[in-house]
Amino acid sequence: MTDPVVLVVGSLHYDIMVESSTLPRKDETAIGSRWYPKFGGKGGNQAVAAQKGGAVARMCGAVGRDDFGRFLRENLRAGGVDDRFVADVDGARSGMSVAIMDAAGDYAATIVSGANLLISIDTLQDAALWDGVAMLVLQNEVPESVNLAAATQARARGIPTLLNAAPYRPMSPEFCALVDILVVNSVEAEQMGADAVCCLHSAADAARKLAAQFAAVIVTAGAQGLAAWTDTDEVLSIPAQKVKVVSSHGAGDAFIGALANHLARGDGFDSAARAASAAAARHVAGL
């Protein structure tokens, strides 16, 4: 049986990670202990995670013709990701971010999109891009026009679309109608109109409310776990595995990549969500 292809259309960022004992407050200068570069961007991370899980991952995105861009492309290839549809853009710098991580493994980050804002919609019409694709994965770190064009192509080909609506931004009804699976964290769920999420019960309530717009919804609640609501009115509540936290940075992307891989393979929603939760736990534990 041929492994399924997970197509990720999205962002690539050169991440500069800074370690500090605490996250700085407004107007505070905190002293860090070290910094290092890291491959990133939600799109790139999710593609690598899908490939790691056993899918054939294909990336569609854009980088600048700079050192950051070369670093990003090299890391995609090192992760086994098909980068044929990642464009080198003239006159733009690659996307990047600065993330500060504290001693507990929590972090805060700022991104600069750069070339990610220049992904060509024409590329999304290339039949070769969609060859063998079983799942489309999107995020909100690229323009909605790109997401809309990708989801439109996927719907025309009978391919389900998974949207990780992060970071939050208002989305058009036209785009939302093309999304089959929505994944958000507790903050994003609240920003989309759900009540405050503090536990698995409230996460389930949030998923049910958001399911008025989407066929299936997963609301992740950090160390609490996740809750899901499907188009069959089935509620899933999955407690998080208890692990020693090394870093939470990228855990959500590990979850999305694993979820896309298992759904593309035809696994049921419950088993796919549980496998993705386990993958996120391993990531947090540094495994």
> Which residues are catalytically annotated?
253
- The end-to-end CA distance of the chain, in Å, is 29
Q: Is the dihedral of CA 198, 204, 209, 213 positive or negative?
A: positive
CA distances from 100 to 33, 110, 117 (A): 11, 9, 24
Is 26 within 8 Å of 48 (Cβ atoms)? no
Query: Which DSSP symbol is given to 37?
Result: E
Distance CA 179, CA 202 (A): 23
Distance CA 182, CA 165 (A): 7
Distance CA 31, CA 137 (A): 37
Is 177 within 8 Å of 48 (Cβ atoms)? no
Is 115 within 8 Å of 91 (Cβ atoms)? no
**Counting Cβ atoms within 10 Å, is residue 190 exposed (0-12), middle (13-18) or buried (19+)?**
middle
